[in-house]
Amino acid sequence: MLFVTMGFQVEGSQVAALDSSVAITGSIDHLEDAPGTMVVQDGEKRQLTEQLLSITSKSIYFLGLFLMIGWALLWQIVRTYSFELRKKYVLYGRFFQILHLLGILTILFIYLEASSFYEILDKLVLLIGTNIGKLLFASFLISIIGLIFLFKNQLFNYFWVILIGIIKGISGYIDEMNSANYILVGLNIIQLFVVSFWAAGIVFILLFWRKQRLYIKYFLRFFNKAAFLSILLLIILCSGRVYLLSPNIDFIGTTWGIALLVNAFVIIILLFLRAVIWKRRKKGKVVADLITIFKLEFMLLLILTIFIASFVTLNLQSNLPSIILMI
């Protein structure tokens, strides 16, 4: 049985109790008099509620993950800015780390479905006994360490970003590490960094443009080019994934194919917005004239995050890691 959480796979009958599927109980005698339909409807409502909660928790997790990693990457630039800006930047970074941890805890709470503290402990022991459970525990521990020490030492920042990226990158392939998967893991890690960098850059601009316009103007000189190159890199990474995965899936007309088309459509919109920003910057437009476009990019980030969370929750392609959808 598969226990899917955050795009991860946990195999083995020991964790069957962690499955999020809804069981409709009742004997035949209870279903003879017409209540059968009501039981099914109640089960469907309960399943829908659980799916909505799962999508919400995973959306929080992925958004926190992208911003947490991206914030650490951008720190190498922001640490040269004013003391006031750096102080607020670190506070926002702590918030994004807490958001990521909250997403992990919420997902665990939903999937464990335990009625007592001791039952939670029993199921956690079973989960940690699996490979993916150990990886999840390591991710949680590293996130806690980052919450304490991140932004205080440049060498630690580099080490932490690389380590958390590797752990997240290999999560979906923990049980299938053949030669092709090693390539996919590498693409997965790079893709995670690229998406996180773009997401953090957009949020940084939106959070600081009103009171720190001079620094945002300076930041845009670098970020506009870097964001455009990041989108092009995402296209290349997506093409590499399709090339590696297409021998195993007939993706035209499948759920995976639809996911690729949706994400490709989002990328096309991003390219268009980047072109508009580039053109307006050349005309001498100030940050205030571009802020609407950055807000649209942030909305695309939220849509993409919710889309990933929904895809993972519905387990439409559970043999692929969730981050793979970020093309």
pLDDT-flagged residues of the chain (< 70)? 1-43, 111, 113-118, 132, 172-181, 241-260, 286, 312-327
Q: Which pLDDT value is given to residue 18?
A: 35
Q: Which pLDDT value is given to residue 255?
A: 62
165-197 pLDDT per residue, tens:
888 877 755 544 444 567 777 888 888 899 899
pTM of the model: 0.77
Q: Which pLDDT value is given to residue 26?
A: 41
The answer for residues whose C-beta is within 8 angstroms of residue 63's C-beta and 6 or more apart is 99, 103, 199, 301, 302, 305
Q: Which pLDDT value is given to residue 183?
A: 77
